Amino acid sequence: MRYDFKAIEEKWQKKWAENNSFKISEDTSKPKYYALEMFPYPSGNLHMGHVRNYSIGDVVARYKTMRGYNVLHPMGWDSFGLPAENAAIKNGTPPAEWTWKNIDNMREQLKRLGFSYDWDREVATAKPDYYKFTQWMFLQLYKNGLAYKKKSYVNWCPSCQTVLANEQVVNGKCDRCKSEVGKKDLEQWFFKITDYAQKLLDDISTLDGWPEKVKSMQTNWIGRSEGAEIKFKIDGTDKELTVYTTRPDTIFGVSYMVIAPEHPLVKELIAGRPEEKKCLEFIERVQKQSEIVRSATDTEKEGEFTGVYMVNPLNNEKIPLYLANYVFLDYGTGIVMGVPAHDQRDFDFAKKYNLPIRIVIQPKDSNLKSEELTEAFAAEGIMENSGQFDGLNNKEALKKIIDYVEEKGIGNRKVNFRLRDWLISRQRYWGAPIPIVYCEKCGTVEIPESELPVKLPENVKFTGQGKSPLSECEEFVNTTCPKCGGPAKRETDTMDTFVCSSWYYLRYCDPKNDKMPFSKESTDYWMNVDQYIGGVEHAILHLLYARFFTKVLNDLGYVSCSEPFKNLLTQGMVLKDGTKMSKSLGNVVSPEEIISKYGADTARLFILFAAPPERDLEWSDTAVEGSYRFINRVWRAVIELKDCITDEKIDKTSLTDGEKKLRFAVNASIKKVTEDFERFSFNTAISSIMEMVNALYQYKDNTPKESYNNAVISEAVTTLVKLLSPFIPHVTQELWEILGMDTDLLHETWCEYDEAALVVSEIEIVVQVNGKIKDKIMISPDLSQDEMKEQAMSNAKVKEAIDGKQVVKCIAIPKKLVNIVVK
């Protein structure tokens, strides 16, 4: 007999929708719990990664609800972005139409999986009632000096025809379309995330519920380094250049200096010199090098002498200034000092261009000579050739040299971050328009909050060529200045979609508010997100931006929390044949297919049982089959025993051994499943329910029907259905009804285990001799250690093993084992 999953799942999904079963509102009588999964991009269809992500979230939400929490469990759509525009170019479907259609389809797919979302709180970032507030967010940042426009050398994707944030350039390629990213000098909007670099870094240490990996990735990305800026005079002039270094202790070893070829001062420096022509050629050549080549560790270091000499402020030595491809304009000052003896890159460069190598730090136990040096010495040591600092440990000297430099006014301590400001403008149509106009009289003017949203025009053409469709839409571009009423032109860039997703978790708290993005009261009640679940691919981008937004909103007084996500779970990927499922490899298993073949409950159960949530999961058709078999096994047992259900209390004084065994399995399972839920170990929770089902079969198949203890069976069957309900909500709700219950399982209280059922009269312990198992014996669990030892000593196999030997030691561990050590 097989259960009719199709009819059952449809039936309950319909009922849940009719009864608004998942609707939630603020309720101060209960503790709150905010369970959140990363909202999807509406590509059109769910994939297994979504199913996994949302199954994990749903099981958490349902469990917490049964534990008495008031659970916020929302869903929405990260619905701006390029694919919608590409579809428009390809098929002529307007992006909005394409997007809403995909959302409708995916919403249905989510409903078919039985997830307990409060659909009344659904948000879509591409809807005016949402992006109105994304624009509001922009204005808050703008008014507080955290959004600015500047001309800069930015990443440009020639295929997407737009600029990209640093975070969206992966190995020199566009994160979205994989084409090679170039550089362009453009006027662009930025968010000043660097103002929050230190805070974002410091608060990582408060994120106890985040995976180490994500924390270390963010730490690396922020990339704090401590050092000093030191001014070097240009020889023969009063002008100075400033370098940034983390190793001021090596300053007496400087034998050259390097400036980034794109540095704005370069042209002026080389003007009119005999080296000018060669330098200009070099600059052109370096600029042609792609970003990938340029930034690769193994790219050969190349340089060109500028003809300029610098003066080392510590020892007044004259040193040459080079252009070189290994220095970045956008880190530090774009100018660095070259210390070949103590930096590997400088060593390689000096070897190539025959620059002097001078040792200024000696290892404690050897004596290096510069002409014998085969690689830079970068470790700790004792200072030499460094004037008054000779003989000091270099760590100490580092501080003293900075002190000296600060005293003389030729430099200062400086902390640098690798984090750059967040480039948020995109030359695309399908995004939230930046609420700014340019007026001939007033200049850059922000749109007043009362006039939001700046709506996306609907009648635009998509050619895929040239400029963004927005900039070619006359009725959008031409407007009046909100300040003076004169003619003005709108900003035609839209915002990076990551701006939209940086605050959506706040909108869920108060999704219908049309005055503000959310009320303070609503976020005070619901925030923080207690459990956030999603893929590790967002470790830097989304998770860093969302932290930044929360901190800004906190500083501006709009929210009380300074971190959005208390706990973070990064789920593993769903693999097939050892690799990621992908269309090009043809190894994609579609959720639709699995749902129609086995039902949503089986899909959910398999995906949670096959691996722990953080680990990658290998898809296995036969194992899916196994999960389906298990549900059928549960179904048959419950149906068979349904008439045994009774309200009678268990008479604990007269239980048979079989009944005790069943009660033990049931209560041990409640304990185990509850503990496993708390640590998100769903695979082991399910396995312990399987053991319980095995025990139930043992009991029912080995007990004559007339001897059934209905009270014990009732306990087992109702417990089974409840424990399974977060995993497989449809079939358990159906069984609940079959058992004569008319309540909603989701709002039943979670099972409590009976301590008394876990007490047994005899337990098995292991008897070892010299750590090797000799026998297993049954004893009373409350025997003293001495009594345990006695029992072990009198065991026949032990006697044989220790015969003629001297007992040196005997260790007894209550309820576990006895180990006898002999010589």
Region 111-170 residues binding RNA, contact defined as CB under 7 A: 170
| Distance of alpha carbon 684 from alpha carbon 690, whole angstroms | 10
To the nearest whole angstrom, how small is the minimum distance from the Cβ of residue 332 to RNA?
Answer: 4
To the nearest whole angstrom, how small is the minimum distance from the Cβ of residue 31 to RNA?
Answer: 23
* Contact region with RNA (CB under 7 A), list: 64-72, 730-738, 746-754, 762-770: 762-770
* Contact region with RNA (CB under 7 A), list: 5-13, 209-217, 367-375, 480-488: 209-217
Q: Site map for RNA, 412-451, x if CB under 7 A? A: ----x-x---------------------------------
To the nearest whole angstrom, how small is the minimum distance from the Cβ of residue 352 to RNA?
Answer: 12
To the nearest whole angstrom, how small is the minimum distance from the Cβ of residue 149 to RNA?
Answer: 24
Site for RNA in 340-359 (CB under 7 A): 343, 345
**Is residue 805 at the binding interface for RNA, with CB under 7 A as the rule?**
no
* Contact region with RNA (CB under 7 A), list: 117-125, 425-433, 481-489, 812-820: 812-820
Q: Is 422 helix (H, G, I), strand (E, B) or coil?
A: strand
* Contact region with RNA (CB under 7 A), list: 9-17, 215-223, 384-392, 650-658: 215-223
To the nearest whole angstrom, how small is the minimum distance from the Cβ of residue 417 to RNA?
Answer: 8
Nearer to RNA, 266 or 336 (CB): 336
**Is residue 260 at the binding interface for RNA, with CB under 7 A as the rule?**
yes
Site for RNA in 770-799 (CB under 7 A): 770-773, 776
| Distance of alpha carbon 657 from alpha carbon 251, whole angstroms | 83
* Contact region with RNA (CB under 7 A), list: 26-34, 70-78, 402-410, 808-816: 808-816
Site for RNA (CB under 7 A): which residue of 216, 370, 656, 785?
A: 216
| Distance of alpha carbon 788 from alpha carbon 807, whole angstroms | 16
| Distance of alpha carbon 619 from alpha carbon 625, whole angstroms | 12
Nearer to RNA, 556 or 778 (CB): 778
Q: Site map for RNA, 369-388, x if CB under 7 A? A: --------------------
Size of the site for RNA (CB under 7 A): 91
- C-alpha distances in Å from residue 675, one per residue of 63, 64, 670, 685: 12, 13, 9, 8
Site for RNA in 19-78 (CB under 7 A): none
- C-alpha distances in Å from residue 75, one per residue of 115, 117, 118, 511: 10, 6, 7, 11
Nearer to RNA, 471 or 819 (CB): 819
Q: What is the DSSP string of 714-726?
A: HHHHHHHHHHHTT
Query: Beta-carbon neighbour count of residue 465 at 10 Å?
Result: 7
Site for RNA in 514-543 (CB under 7 A): 536, 539-540
* Contact region with RNA (CB under 7 A), list: 335-343, 407-415, 725-733, 735-743: 335-343
Nearer to RNA, 156 or 256 (CB): 256
To the nearest whole angstrom, how small is the minimum distance from the Cβ of residue 21 to RNA?
Answer: 30
**Is residue 813 at the binding interface for RNA, with CB under 7 A as the rule?**
yes
Q: Are 752 and 723 in contact (CB under 8 A)?
A: no
DSSP E strand stretches across 371-448: 382-383, 411-417, 422-423, 425-426, 436-439, 443-446
| Distance of alpha carbon 401 from alpha carbon 296, whole angstroms | 33
Nearer to RNA, 506 or 568 (CB): 568
Q: Is 247 helix (H, G, I), strand (E, B) or coil?
A: coil
Q: Burial letters for 286-305: b for 16+ Cβ neighbours within 10 Å, e otherwise?
A: beeeebeebeeeeeebbbbb
**Is residue 91 at the binding interface for RNA, with CB under 7 A as the rule?**
no
To the nearest whole angstrom, how small is the minimum distance from the Cβ of residue 361 to RNA?
Answer: 14
* Contact region with RNA (CB under 7 A), list: 114-122, 314-322, 463-471, 617-625: 617-625
Structure tokens at 737: 């009804």
To the nearest whole angstrom, how small is the minimum distance from the Cβ of residue 419 to RNA?
Answer: 9
Nearer to RNA, 147 or 266 (CB): 266
| Distance of alpha carbon 465 from alpha carbon 469, whole angstroms | 9
Nearer to RNA, 334 or 729 (CB): 334
Query: Beta-carbon neighbour count of residue 31 at 10 Å?
Result: 13
Strands 182-191 and 240-245: unpaired
Rg (CA), the chain: 34
Q: Is 671 helix (H, G, I), strand (E, B) or coil?
A: helix
Site for RNA in 669-708 (CB under 7 A): 672, 675-676, 679, 681, 683-684, 686-687, 690-691, 694, 697-698, 701
Structure tokens at 13: 């999904």
Bridge partners, 416 (sequence order) = 225
Site for RNA (CB under 7 A): which residue of 439, 617, 721, 788?
A: 617
To the nearest whole angstrom, how small is the minimum distance from the Cβ of residue 573 to RNA?
Answer: 9
**Is residue 610 at the binding interface for RNA, with CB under 7 A as the rule?**
yes
| Distance of alpha carbon 231 from alpha carbon 411, whole angstroms | 6
To the nearest whole angstrom, how small is the minimum distance from the Cβ of residue 246 to RNA?
Answer: 4
* Contact region with RNA (CB under 7 A), list: 13-21, 96-104, 336-344, 736-744: 336-344
Q: Is 154 helix (H, G, I), strand (E, B) or coil?
A: strand
| Distance of alpha carbon 370 from alpha carbon 651, whole angstroms | 89
**Is residue 409 at the binding interface for RNA, with CB under 7 A as the rule?**
no
To the nearest whole angstrom, how small is the minimum distance from the Cβ of residue 335 to RNA?
Answer: 8
DSSP E strand stretches across 615-699: 617-618
**Is residue 811 at the binding interface for RNA, with CB under 7 A as the rule?**
yes
Nearer to RNA, 593 or 764 (CB): 764
Nearer to RNA, 119 or 417 (CB): 417
To the nearest whole angstrom, how small is the minimum distance from the Cβ of residue 514 to RNA?
Answer: 39
Nearer to RNA, 436 or 818 (CB): 818
To the nearest whole angstrom, how small is the minimum distance from the Cβ of residue 348 to RNA?
Answer: 7
- C-alpha distances in Å from residue 188, one per residue of 117, 133, 141, 147: 39, 21, 15, 10
| Distance of alpha carbon 633 from alpha carbon 347, whole angstroms | 70
Closest to 547 in 3D by CA, of 198, 223, 163 = 198
Site for RNA in 219-258 (CB under 7 A): 219-221, 223, 225, 227, 244-247
**Is residue 766 at the binding interface for RNA, with CB under 7 A as the rule?**
yes
Instruction: Please provide the distance, in angstroms rounded to a whole number, between the alpha carbons at the two ends of the chain.
Output: 62
Site for RNA (CB under 7 A): which residue of 410, 612, 708, 710?
A: 612
**Is residue 756 at the binding interface for RNA, with CB under 7 A as the rule?**
no
To the nearest whole angstrom, how small is the minimum distance from the Cβ of residue 639 to RNA?
Answer: 13
Closest to 747 in 3D by CA, of 58, 113, 9, 68 = 68
* Contact region with RNA (CB under 7 A), list: 88-96, 190-198, 704-712, 768-776: 768-776
Site for RNA in 287-316 (CB under 7 A): 294-297, 299-301
Number of H helices, E strands in the chain: 26, 34
To the nearest whole angstrom, how small is the minimum distance from the Cβ of residue 756 to RNA?
Answer: 19
Q: How many residues does the chain have?
A: 823
Q: Is 216 helix (H, G, I), strand (E, B) or coil?
A: helix
Q: Are 603 and 591 in contact (CB under 8 A)?
A: yes
Nearer to RNA, 492 or 627 (CB): 627
Nearer to RNA, 542 or 672 (CB): 672
Nearer to RNA, 44 or 626 (CB): 626
Contacts of 626 (CB under 8 A, 6+ apart): 606
- Alpha-carbon dihedral angle through residues 451, 454, 458, 463, given to the nearest 10 degrees: 160
Contacts of 522 (CB under 8 A, 6+ apart): 26, 509, 510, 513
Q: Are 625 and 2 in contact (CB under 8 A)?
A: no
